[in-house]
């Protein structure tokens, strides 16, 4: 697929500067782009790399004036680039229908334009909305509800009592609604506590490959609209996650947390159970959240602390060997002074 620079400006609402008739065939990084490629500049930091860039055209952040190139200026180059990429690399919609090698129970209800790929299983009383796609080898268990336009990639497992909203994407290998990790100690034995609450997922939610979302104990584990879950994320039972939350790779949530709207937890952050992370809070990579986080707070570290404090602690930690040497030298001087004072005492 190809697109002209003028069409890019029209599509994204950007400002054209240069040859609007220039045709672009691909989107590529600055270092790899050629004359038929589109790339982007979202920060002043990138400007030193431009002399070696052979891209045919650029989407550039407003305020960064670039001469001698065909450009579309935009307030958000990342978002504009995403729009263009959808045009340059259109998704191929699966053909509607149930493949001969799929197993769909007669009592399952399928909307218009549903597609079910080979070796997928759709059990009794499952409901698939219009335009839903179930990938090869996926399992949609009894009674599951899948909203219109949702795409379930290969080998996803949706356990009973799972509901997904409209326009969701669930990538390969994700498991949603498995029993939460709940046990009671009876005598000297751990006895399983049944986890029958299921999972409720809102609209426009993405679940990354090989992520797991456990069923709630008695009430559902919930994810709000537009929340995005990266690959290899673990969401324990009873978590209540708001809308437009970002959970990056290898984040782990123990049970019964409340993660409010617009929270961002970056890679390998862990959240202990029964905590509240306030609206708009952010955690740096590898943070260990051990107590509540206030709305809008930025934290880092193990256990977590305010980000500014963590930076000071980290900088100080880089001087520990030097500080140790200085401390030993000071102790030696103190010993010398004490011996001198003792020798001069009457």
Task: Report the catalytic residues.
Answer: 237
DSSP of 219-231: S-EEE-TT-EE-T
Tokens matching residue 57:
């055209």
CA distance 228 to 112: 27
Burial class from Cβ neighbours inside 10 Å (0-12, 13-18, 19+) for residue 261 reads middle
Tokens matching residue 200:
């409720």
CA distance 126 to 161: 10
CA distance 66 to 30: 15
Of 20, 105, 112, nearest in space to 57 by CA: 20
CA distance 110 to 117: 14
Tokens matching residue 224:
């709000």
Q: How many residues are recorded in the chain?
A: 346
Which 3 state secondary structure label does DSSP give 12?
helix
Tokens matching residue 105:
């129970």
Residue 280 phi, psi dihedral angles, 5° rounding: 75, 5
Beta bridge partners of 186: 189
Cis-peptide into 331, omega within 30 deg: no
Let me know: does 253 contact 272? Beta carbons within 8 Å.
Answer: no
Sheet holding 288-289, edge to edge: 103-104, 121-122, 139-140, 157-158, 175-178, 212-214, 234-235, 252-253, 270-271, 288-289
């Amino acid at each position: 697929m190809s697109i002209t620079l003028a069409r890019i400006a029209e599509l994204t609402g950007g400002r054209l500067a240069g040859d609007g008739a220039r045709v672009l065939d691909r989107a590529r990084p600055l270092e790899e782009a050629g004359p038929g490629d589109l790339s982007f500049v979202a920060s002043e930091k990138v400007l030193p790399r431009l002399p070696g860039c052979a891209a045919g055209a650029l989407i550039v952040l407003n305020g960064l004036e670039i001469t001698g190139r065909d450009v579309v200026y935009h307030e958000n180059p990342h978002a504009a680039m995403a729009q263009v990429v959808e045009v340059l690399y259109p998704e191929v919609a699966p053909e509607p229908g149930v493949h001969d090698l799929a197993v769909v129970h007669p009592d399952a209800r399928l909307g218009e334009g549903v597609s079910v790929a080979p070796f997928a299983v759709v059990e009794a009383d499952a409901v698939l909305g219009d335009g839903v796609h179930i990938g090869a080898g996926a399992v949609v268990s009894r009674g599951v509800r899948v909203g219109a336009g949702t795409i379930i990639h290969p080998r996803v497992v949706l356990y009973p009592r799972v509901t997904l909203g409209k326009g969701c994407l669930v990538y390969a290998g994700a498991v949603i609604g498995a029993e939460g990790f709940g046990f009671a100690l009876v005598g000297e034995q751990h006895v399983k506590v049944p986890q029958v609450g299921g999972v409720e997922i809102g609209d426009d939610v993405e679940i990354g490959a090989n992520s797991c979302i456990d069923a709630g104990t008695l009430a559902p584990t919930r994810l709000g609209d537009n929340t995005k879950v990266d690959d290899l994320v673990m969401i324990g039972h009873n978590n209540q996650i708001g809308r437009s939350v970002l959970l990056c790779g290898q984040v782990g949530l123990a049970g019964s947390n409340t993660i409010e709207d617009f929270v961002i937890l970056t890679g390998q952050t862990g959240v202990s159970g029964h905590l509240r992370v306030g609206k708009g809070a952010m955690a740096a990579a590898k943070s260990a959240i051990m107590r509540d986080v206030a709305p809008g707070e930025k934290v880092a570290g193990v256990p977590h602390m305010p980000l500014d404090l963590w930076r000071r602690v980290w900088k100080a930690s880089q001087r520990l060997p030097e500080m140790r040497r200085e401390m030993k030298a000071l102790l030696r001087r103190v010993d010398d002074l004490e011996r001198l004072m003792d020798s001069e005492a009457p």
